[in-house]
Amino acid sequence: MLDLTGKKALVTGIANNRSIAWGIAQQLHQAGAELGVTYLPDDKGRFEKKVGELVEPLAPTVFLPCDVQNDQQVDETFSAIAEKWGKLDILIHCLAFAQKDDLSGDFSATSRQGFNTALDVSSYSLTRLAHSAKPLMTDGGAIVTLTYLGGVKVIPNYNVMGVAKAALECSVRYLASELGPHNIRVNAISAGPIRTLASSAVGGILDMIHHVEATAPLRRTVTQVEVGNTAAFLCSDLSSGITGQVIYVDSGYEIMGM
């Protein structure tokens, strides 16, 4: 039923084998999609090497550096897709960043620069990538981003990233409204806490995971592959009537009041 054969999918946000984007890429590949992968470049080329080796078994036909704060790299990414594929069906936005100092302590101490950086990388980037993807999604398309409960409720230490996720979730609704007439669907997955490079920067992530394990209806947190399965569903025709939504993949934690 879940068949993405012939679909061209761009996956952003793979840093290592713990990345949620890696779980998503694997499930899209398994469903038959042809993959393009971008990575965050660094001076020593470490991510290029590491991510390149990791994704090799998925045989991506596009593999490019793309820092979402760098408009030139974003433009080059989509030009390369236009040249290589001529169209795009699926865009996975699975990235975020905030300075470590802003992910613990008093929220009111967030600096202007820290606020701007978190919102630029973690929220605005979705709009920027969607804008570039829109003209390539000529057969319709699916855009999926990753969010967290901290954008809706107060989660200790999540701080400015909570504000960024609130902006991201709102952006999903505005983008879904704009792109719906083009048959492009835009949805977010709100994942439960998972240990990754990014989540390790949030103060007390292990406590968050243990709390979910103790109180969520399923009495455990979720895996990257479970998030990947939901992403594959949201990119497939099985979810053709769903857009502008935030789908919780969190073992049910979000429904609990106490």
Ligand X SMILES: NC(=O)c1ccc[n+]([C@@H]2O[C@H](COP(=O)([O-])OP(=O)(O)OC[C@H]3O[C@@H](n4cnc5c(N)ncnc54)[C@H](O)[C@@H]3O)[C@@H](O)[C@H]2O)c1
Q: Which window, 17-25, 55-63, 76-84, 128-136, contacts ligand X (CB under 6 A)? A: 17-25
The H or E element containing residue 210 is: helix 205-215
Place of tokens 């490019």: 64
Q: What are phi and psi of 210, to 5 degrees?
A: -65, -35
- Sites for ligand X among residues 159-218 (CB under 6 A): 191, 193-194, 196-199
Of 11, 40, 74, 88, the one binding ligand X by CB under 6 A: 40
Q: Between residues 46 and 84, which has the closer beta carbon with respect to ligand X?
A: 46
At a CB cut-off of 8 Å and minimum separation 6, what does 243 contact? 176, 180, 185, 186, 187
**Which residue in the list 39, 158, 248, 253 is annotated as catalytic?**
158
Least gap, CB of 5 to ligand X (angstroms): 26
Joined together, the tokens standing for residue 59 give 């045989």
Rule CB under 6 A: say whether 24 interacts with ligand X.
no
Q: Which window, 7-15, 56-64, 170-178, 236-244, contacts ligand X (CB under 6 A)? A: 7-15
Q: In whole angstroms, give the CA distance from residue 159 to residue 46.
A: 29
Q: Between residues 33 and 246, which has the closer beta carbon with respect to ligand X?
A: 246
Between 115 and 154, how does the x/- string for binding to ligand X read (CB under 6 A)? ------x------------------------xxx------
Bridge partners for 146 per DSSP: 189
Residue 36 burial by CB count (10 A; 0-12/13-18/19+): exposed, middle or buried?
Answer: buried
Cβ atoms of 89 and 137 within 8 Å: the answer is: yes
Of 63, 85, 97, 115, the one binding ligand X by CB under 6 A: 97
Cβ atoms of 21 and 46 within 8 Å: the answer is: no
Rule CB under 6 A: say whether 10 interacts with ligand X.
no
Rule CB under 6 A: say whether 13 interacts with ligand X.
yes
Query: Could you write out the DSSP letters of every residue in 54-75?
Result: HHGGG--SEEEE--TT-HHHHH
Least gap, CB of 6 to ligand X (angstroms): 27
- Greatest Cα-to-Cα distance within the chain, rounded to the nearest angstrom: 52
Least gap, CB of 138 to ligand X (angstroms): 25
Residues in contact with ligand X by the rule CB under 6 A: 13-15, 18-21, 40, 66-69, 94-97, 121, 146-148, 191, 193-194, 196-199
